[in-house]
Amino acid sequence: MTRVPHERPLARPSKGQRRINTILRRIPDAREQLLVAMESFPPDFSVTALIAAAESTDARERNKVAVVEREYEVLLNWCNELAARLLAEGQRLGVVKKAAGYPWERLAALAVISTRSATSLQEAMDMRDDLAHAYPPANWRSLHEGVNMLLRELDRYVDRVGRWATDGGILPTG
């Protein structure tokens, strides 16, 4: 194959860029798994059905809640890791200055996401930490609200950070 002299070969994506692209590919599947887990609480992810299952003496019912908790945690972790890796890759490329703070706060400071979104996502992460340490929410409504908030924010979040990363040269286009 003959290459035209003025054409530059495409640079191989960095390890960070490959990891970011992997996360972006996995988020839709994680979202789908959460949506399927929510189907155990009809109609339309009923908070009443969720609370009844969480407080049930039947392990099968409690496991339905455990699946929602786990899928919520997985999806939230992917979103948090996406933010952290984008910022790290941006720093590596000189596009983002090093700064302190949670990844979502930093994205809000860069006007990538809104402050409201950053606060909502961080609150969800704090609840996720409680779930990860097996501290059941004092109120199962918190889990219900967290899941709904994450799903409301998710598409906008992925679109905005993806566009920012591409426009800013953090992720190659194409």
Write the single-letter amino acid at 110: L
130 within 8 A of 137, measured Cβ to Cβ: yes
Higher per-residue pLDDT: 174 or 149: 149
The answer on pLDDT for 103 being more than 60 is: yes
**3-state class of 13 per DSSP?**
coil
The string of DSSP codes covering 85-153 is: HHHHHHHHTTSS----S-HHHHHHHTTSS-HHHHHHHHHHHHHHHHHHTT---SSHHHHHHHHHHHHHH
- pLDDT confidence of residue 9: 46
| Dihedral pair phi/psi, residue 93, rounded to 5° | -85, -5
Instruction: From 75, 93, 76, 78, select the one nearest 17 (Cα to Cα).
Output: 93
Each residue's pLDDT tens digit, 17-32: 999 999 999 999 999 9
- pLDDT confidence of residue 42: 95
Each residue's pLDDT tens digit, 61-85: 999 999 999 999 999 999 999 999 9
Each residue's pLDDT tens digit, 115-141: 999 999 999 888 877 776 766 666 788
- pLDDT confidence of residue 142: 87
The answer on pLDDT for 1 being more than 50 is: no
Domains with residue ranges and CATH for the chain: 15-167 (1.20.120)
